[in-house]
Amino acid sequence: MEETLGNQPTPANQEKTQQAADDLRVAAGDKAQQLKQNAIQKAQQLRELAGTKATDIKDTAKVKAQQIKHVAGDQVQSSKDKAKEFHTEAEIYIRKNPTKSVLTALGAGFLIGLIIRK
């Protein structure tokens, strides 16, 4: 009979085992809560960082867009000025050489007509 009593846990051992299991369960719950809070904090930090980066990128894109708009406006104005200058020079040339200009225009029109026909 003593052998069977040695294999069976005593109430004191059962209580210690139960207490250890309860302590372990509480510790695991506490650790899980800590991990959850850390994850929430990290997610918030990442969200804030992403917002900051998005704002920085947006601001940089605005500045670049304004620069491109300014450069494009300058290029358009320069092209308009060159076109006006060319138009003025062409008009002066035509006034000085009317016959040559008319014959050149007729020749160009004839060539374009031949190309279009084919």
pLDDT tens for each residue of 37-59 = 999 999 999 999 999 999 999 99
Under 8 Å CB-to-CB from 100, ≥6 apart: which residues? none
Tokens coding 117:
């026909």
CA neighbours within 13 Å on the CB side: how many for 57? Answer: 6
Quickly tell me which residue has 């059962």 as its tokens. 14
Q: So where are the chain's domains?
A: 10-117
Torsion of CA 62, 57, 59, 68, to 10 degrees: -20
Quickly tell me which residue has 């020749």 as its tokens. 107
pLDDT band at 4 (very low <50, low <70, confident <90, very high): very low
Model confidence pLDDT, tens digit, residues 59-107: 999 999 999 999 999 999 999 999 999 999 999 999 999 999 999 999 9
